[in-house]
Structure 1
Amino acid sequence: MTDTASQPAATPATTPSGEPALDKTFDPARIEAQWYSHWERNGLFRPERPDATPFTIVNPPPNVTGSLHIGHALDNTLQDVVIRYERLRGKDALWVVGTDHAGIATQMVVERQLEASQDKRSNYTREGFIEKVWDWKRESGGTITGQLRRLGCSMDWSREQFTMDPHFTTAVVKVFVELHKQGLIYRDKRLVNWDPKLKTAISDLEVETREVQGHFWHLRYPLSDGSGFIRVATTRPETMLADMAVAVNPADERYKSLLDRKATVTLPITGREIPIIADEHADPELGSGAVKITPGHDFNDFEVGKRAGIEARDMLNMLDAEAKVCQTADGLIPHEFLGLDRFKARARVIELLDEDGLLEKVEDRVIATPYGDRGGVVIEPWLTDQWYVDAKTLAGPALEAVRSGAIEIVPKSWEKTFFNWLENIQPWCVSRQLWWGHRIPAWFAGDGQIFVAETEEEAREVAINHYTAAGRPIKDVEFIDYGNLKTGSCFNNELPSLDPDIVTLERDPDVLDTWFSSALWPFATLGWPDENAPLLAKHYPNDLLVSGFDILFFWDARMAMQGIHFMKEVPWKRLYLHGLVRAADGQKMSKSKGNVVDPLGLIDQYGADALRFFMTAMESQGRDVKMDEKRVEGYRNFATKLWNAARFCQANGSVGSTSIAAPAATSAVNRWIIGEVVETVVALDKAMADLRFDAAANAIYHFVWNQFCDWYIELIKGQFDDPDLGAETKAVAGWVLDQILVMLHPFMPFVTEELWSKTGTRERELIVSAWPDPQASVDPAAKVEVEWLIALVGNLRAAKSELGIAPGARLTAFLAQPSEATSAIIARNARAIDRLARLDAIRFEPAPAGPAMQVGAGDAMLAIPLDGVIDIAAEKARLEKAQAAAIKERDALAKRLDNPAFAQKAKPEAVDKARADHAAHAAEAERLGAALARLG
């Protein structure tokens, strides 16, 4: 049962029949909050439909720290269009909603709050700080969920999820432990993206590349035998303190002798002797063809070092967690460097090399430099021990799922990108050096053993079994969690037990990457690992995932891996990837450019419906959306036009229908509009099946604006009181308006629900009504008749406008030898022709001699004399002058566009504008030519 008393209040005015009258103006702000509250309060986002076919989507969980940006608006609008459509089709439509705990982002927000009050994280235990985070989440963590409500997202808020909820944490821990048992999670020493400010590893997605003005230093490394130098170049000269080799291409003849005699280099400053090695990484065409190799501080060098036989444990590390110089394992870095910031160390290295004559030259260069998007400092490739997932093994079934069609990627063009990444996937680093997040369920023993378990009790049991099997029976296990101390981890804060029969285990202080937990979203949100969870059986796999292409690898692919691995089924049957929302000029939005658009500001100005319709209409598969506020305003006008059409129907006694099937109709215009509904429903269903959001929006927009508002309402004016057609027309108009409200509802939920509630007595709200089923067909004869009439009126009005004739001027038309069908149409529609076309008569005879304009409709070409109507000579002169100007502009733009230099050198937005202007002038020249032709 719904709480009808809580529906948004009706307006005070009423129609003559006693129904609440619509306001004269459409005010989205008045209705949006009221209706959303009503839907949510009455459980209408997921009505009770236990026996209905399920349809399931999950939202990409936004960061709990986030606020609604224009990309969220696009992504969630598309999902809401789908879920409202499927709900109207009677499905058990579940839209899972929740937020991500956003490890780094959330920890930074809370740390900044502490700093603002002269406090800091290190003043708290880990548990104390985490409690601070939970306090923040309770007070401020719901910003974006409130904003999603403003957008109209019909999510199942009764089951709102959070990735740190207890049931979700249980799932995350279980997955980690199971993957570790299967050998698919392991600990390894590798290079990671290290943020020296946050002091944690970060994912590739959290690294942003900036173009920075820098230098390319050319250095000379002395050959150890004193026979000369080998030249290398670098953008990071400080890393030479940890160089372990110089690589040259094996095919480079310049260095063949050095390779043959196994020559070495003595590094300046450190005196370390390092080999010259052969590796394809060195490009003979680039610089000297020789490359310094620092495997502990460069991703490419790391791979070169491995190929050269250097184990990761033996690679030299010259930086600590804050990117300050520390001593390498061989102890060769001079004392003066120890503790220096990396950039100060860089300056000192250059100074010393220059003093020794080993700095050959310095080039100014623009360097692509990685920055942490949260910490805002240069990222350092850093060699450290981390937890890794064997992503290559997990990727195999995900690849096969797309190849076999078990997962359909839309648009299909993204398949190649998906395959390329998964076929070349690297181990996935899943550990982060943070306090906020899912704690890694691993414990370290002093002898190097690591025990992974879901709980401490299980870890105790595993440890006891391990040592017993190893021939060292122990009495007990003692747990120490140094990660919960203010001073951090390491076996130096309190002494472990000295009893040799008691093993001390230290809890891993790290947490898991947030992408690890969000990869479980499609099934952990449904109750897994409880295999008997009712939602899990019914709603997994999901039907559809809507996602931005930018998280295809970070989230979508990982969901595919984990879903298939743990559920033995794909997580969703279809994956729809949309583009970015760009600024009007096509540039990527960014705060630094000042071109970011606030969706909430657009909602305040134009209403949520207008913004939603813009997003849907502009979403064309494979293309980015260009922001255009004028279009948003246009869709606000579209809602207003529908509002006024509903007021017209209401004022004429045409109210909501009591039947889902089309009413009986005898007049051509009523039979025609029923057929247009039939065709629009078919077009909408096809577009939604194909996930062509733009086609769906355009189909309903064209029907509402053109067929219904512009033509049908015009054609039926005067029929409401007709003794023969009045009742029929009222019934048909009311039924068609109902179909419009239902079809438009997924795109514009607020205005349609308000109109639905005010245009008839309803058994239930629009959001849970039924999708149209006209149970009718297109009437070909009625379609021909009405389209003939529309063509006549439309073409005549256009001709009048082109020739400067007043719209209300009454004219006479001549039509010699009309076809039998045309004669019948004219006879049946004499009143409409008189009223809409402003024709005194259509005479079935040749037109008198003299200038006349030609107007076509169907198979007829009507001649309308112009003598005495306009000054023919003056009008011809005006049109010819305007046409000449349009042709001149058209041809000048064509010449510019044909010039290859313009296309290559001009900004893309300038080229796009030139093309648009050329098309506009060409169309204008064609229109004016047609007008001249009308004058004979």
Structure 2
Amino acid sequence: MLKEAKKINWSPSYIKEGRFGQWLEGAKDWSISRQRYWASVIPIWQCSCGWQQVIGSVQELAELSGAEITDLHKHIVDKITIKCPNCGKLAHRVPDVLDTWFDSGSMPYAQAHYPFENAQDFDSHFPAQFIAEGIDQTRCWFYYLQVISTALGRGVAFRNVIVNGIVLAEDGKKMSKKLQNYPDPAELLDRYGADALRYYLLASPVTQAENLNFSETGVEEAIKKITLPVWNVYKFYDLYGGNERSVLSRANWHSDNILDHWIVSRLYQLLGEIDEAMMGYNLPRAVRPLAVFVDDLSGWYLRRSRSRFKNGESQDKDWAVITTNYVLQHLSLALAPFTPFLAEALWQKITGFDYKYDDKSVHLLSWPTDLSVDEEVLAEMAAVREIAELALAQRDAAGLKIRQVLSSLTVKGPSDRLSLISSAGLDILADELNVKHIITEAHNIVNWEVSLDTTLTPELMREGLARELVRHINLLRKESGFSLSDQTIIYWRATSPLAKLTLDELAGTITKETLSGKIVEGRPDQFLAHKTLNLDDGILEIMIAKLN
């Protein structure tokens, strides 16, 4: 039995040689009989003369006793007698019943009524590919399955097993009706949905044989990390992506934009990580990369691609649209084992099937294979983001908002790492940091060193204010309930010389970025929303009205 047990894959792995292995090594004889009422009867009949026989089936008992067997409960079977072949007296069943763990350990055979029927089907499914239960079962179900299987000469009863810990109340105590120290499950599902609860539990240590102090805050975090950002990406795509709704394969996807190649490689990397972890039956390791990818998709790719989606009819917009569609379709596959409802809703929407066909579902698809990850583009984007993080910290320290355009950023780093960053990567970095120029210098150093030119010229100040105005005007559009097809008129009054110059020189940029028809100096009789800005050199008041 010890030799066969070595073949079992445990998750977590330390259970194999630890709790389970040690229990096997010190296992004592198992008394399988019990003096109880409700249990499976021990099928042994004995006579006062000493004759005994083990009965192997209902049919055999019926033939030997001449009784019709319709019920195997103890109080029925105890009345059935067999004529002793030695002395002719009546033999009776022994009064004991089987230990209930004998029933549990016999489950694989009993459920298939093996060996009396289904032998071929049973042999093709035994041993079980996978089972799961609590850590307390290392000395119970896991153990008795293995004991009976080994005794029958069938080797291991299961190949892979996931051992979970115990879900406790938030205060570390056992959940108790008396203490009422747990949230109502029905209310929890109504408030957050089943997917958020599933994700929280699957990503937690409880699926690695550790106890979990259940926290409703953790379920809420799953909504914030997975459900909301995924759906927000889809809603953005739905708003700006047009009517592109189709099932896309690798052959359908193409783009020359570095951002698109990066997010697709991150997608393939994610699918590979999940596949590897699932093959090892490590659920937290399979689930946790999802939140990291969703953050990359929403917080970097989509944020850096917003202007591409709004770029009218262009090749770059087409690439962004088809890439986002392709990524969301495959993300739904990645989500499917863990958040099945979100995955299905996303897949139905992004493919355009929209629940119209019973045979179309993300859960009917095969897991993608042969996905080639571009390690170079991943390394390049990692370098870009590291530099951006350092430079943004400098901005924050200098008290400069990201909307304020700056002249330049100087980046010093080792030549091998600088060589990773293409001109397209530098363009992304400049756009992220809102600087006009990136200067790179190769040095014999280990870590990046960055230096922002924080000198504000009048021209830079006007560009910075223009970006600030675009933000405020778009917020006013949102407050007024304008759609993307609605054009507005921007009215303004100012005592600020900076504001006057900005609106005179950069009116075209502001109208384009705010979907406005024109900018007019003055205060109209009627307007839908307004905002007053207190600038260093005066006041600027902006108002918007709908362009008829």
TM-score when scaled to structure 1? 0.41
Distance in structure 2 (CA, Å) of the matches to 1:622 and 1:484: 41
Distance in structure 2 (CA, Å) of the matches to 1:447 and 1:833: 94
SS at match of 2:103: helix
Deviation of 1:633 after TM superposition, in Å, equals 0.4
Other-structure match for 1:632: 219
Q: How does 1:23-62 map to 2 (within 5 A)?
A: none
Distance in structure 1 (CA, Å) of the matches to 2:116 and 2:59: 21
Deviation of 1:745 after TM superposition, in Å, equals 0.9
Residues 506/826 of structure 1: CA separation in 2 closer, same or farther (3 Å cut): closer
Residues 802/612 of structure 1: CA separation in 2 closer, same or farther (3 Å cut): farther
Deviation of 1:672 after TM superposition, in Å, equals 1.1
Mapped pair 1:543 → 2:119: no
Other-structure match for 1:739: 330
Distance in structure 2 (CA, Å) of the matches to 1:748 and 1:712: 22
Residues 425/794 of structure 1: CA separation in 2 closer, same or farther (3 Å cut): same
Residues 718/430 of structure 1: CA separation in 2 closer, same or farther (3 Å cut): same
Larger Cα Rg: Structure 1 or Structure 2? Answer: 1
SS at match of 1:658: coil
Q: Is the 8 A contact 1:527 1:536 kept in 2?
A: no
Mapped pair 1:516 → 2:516: no
1:674 to 240, 259, 264: 264
Q: How does 1:264-413 map to 2 (within 5 A)?
A: 398-402=1-5, 405-413=6-14
Other-structure match for 1:421: 23
Deviation of 1:828 after TM superposition, in Å, equals 3.8
Distance in structure 2 (CA, Å) of the matches to 1:783 and 1:425: 52
Other-structure match for 1:529: 115
Mapped pair 1:783 → 2:399: no
Distance in structure 2 (CA, Å) of the matches to 1:816 and 1:608: 47
Residues 597/522 of structure 1: CA separation in 2 closer, same or farther (3 Å cut): farther
Other-structure match for 2:317: 726
Distance in structure 2 (CA, Å) of the matches to 1:773 and 1:484: 58
Other-structure match for 2:517: none
Deviations 1:651-682 (A, max 9, x none): 21354442155722211111111211222222
Other-structure match for 1:649: 237
Q: How does 1:869-888 map to 2 (within 5 A)?
A: none
Distance in structure 2 (CA, Å) of the matches to 1:755 and 1:527: 42
SS at match of 1:861: strand
If asked which structure has higher relative contact order (CA below 8 Å, sep 6+), I would say 1
Other-structure match for 2:470: none
Q: Is the 8 A contact 1:808 1:838 kept in 2?
A: yes
Q: Is the 8 A contact 1:609 1:747 kept in 2?
A: yes
The one-letter code of the counterpart of 2:25 is E
Residues 703/512 of structure 1: CA separation in 2 closer, same or farther (3 Å cut): same
Residues 741/832 of structure 1: CA separation in 2 closer, same or farther (3 Å cut): same
Other-structure match for 2:254: 664
1:754 to 345, 355, 371: 345
SS at match of 1:865: coil
Distance in structure 2 (CA, Å) of the matches to 1:537 and 1:551: 25
Deviation of 1:598 after TM superposition, in Å, equals 5.2
Residues 581/724 of structure 1: CA separation in 2 closer, same or farther (3 Å cut): same
Residues 439/728 of structure 1: CA separation in 2 closer, same or farther (3 Å cut): same
The one-letter code of the counterpart of 2:292 is H
Distance in structure 2 (CA, Å) of the matches to 1:738 and 1:522: 38
Deviations 1:111-141 (A, max 9, x none): xxxxxxxxxxxxxxxxxxxxxxxxxxxxxxx
SS at match of 2:102: helix
Distance in structure 1 (CA, Å) of the matches to 2:106 and 2:142: 10
Deviations 1:679-726 (A, max 9, x none): 222222222233322221121221112x11111111211223352322
2:210 to 616, 620, 623: 623
Q: Is the 8 A contact 1:613 1:635 kept in 2?
A: yes
SS at match of 1:759: helix
SS at match of 1:569: coil
Mapped pair 1:710 → 2:299: yes
Distance in structure 2 (CA, Å) of the matches to 1:741 and 1:521: 36
The one-letter code of the counterpart of 2:10 is I
Other-structure match for 1:273: none
Distance in structure 1 (CA, Å) of the matches to 2:203 and 2:33: 41
SS at match of 1:773: coil
Q: How does 1:183-198 map to 2 (within 5 A)?
A: none
Distance in structure 2 (CA, Å) of the matches to 1:459 and 1:773: 54
Q: Is the 8 A contact 2:328 2:350 kept in 1?
A: no
Distance in structure 1 (CA, Å) of the matches to 2:78 and 2:267: 69
TM-score when scaled to structure 2? 0.68
Deviation of 1:406 after TM superposition, in Å, equals 2.2
Q: How does 1:499-514 map to 2 (within 5 A)?
A: 503-508=89-94, 510-514=96-100
Deviation of 1:809 after TM superposition, in Å, equals 3.8
The total of aligned residue pairs comes to 436
Structure 2: gaps spanning 5 or more residues: 354-358, 459-548
Residues 585/809 of structure 1: CA separation in 2 closer, same or farther (3 Å cut): farther
Deviations 1:270-326 (A, max 9, x none): xxxxxxxxxxxxxxxxxxxxxxxxxxxxxxxxxxxxxxxxxxxxxxxxxxxxxxxxx
Q: Is the 8 A contact 2:336 2:344 kept in 1?
A: yes
Q: Is the 8 A contact 1:549 1:578 kept in 2?
A: yes
Distance in structure 2 (CA, Å) of the matches to 1:586 and 1:509: 44
Q: Is the 8 A contact 1:663 1:732 kept in 2?
A: yes
The one-letter code of the counterpart of 1:453 is I
Other-structure match for 1:694: 284
2:367 to 756, 771, 786: 771
The one-letter code of the counterpart of 2:162 is Y
2:40 to 420, 429, 438: 438
CA RMSD of aligned residues (A): 4.2
Residues 599/533 of structure 1: CA separation in 2 closer, same or farther (3 Å cut): farther
1:453 to 55, 63, 67: 55
Residues 657/439 of structure 1: CA separation in 2 closer, same or farther (3 Å cut): same
SS at match of 2:152: helix
Deviations 1:875-895 (A, max 9, x none): xxxxxxxxxxxxxxxxxxxxx
Distance in structure 2 (CA, Å) of the matches to 1:699 and 1:565: 42
Distance in structure 1 (CA, Å) of the matches to 2:416 and 2:7: 57
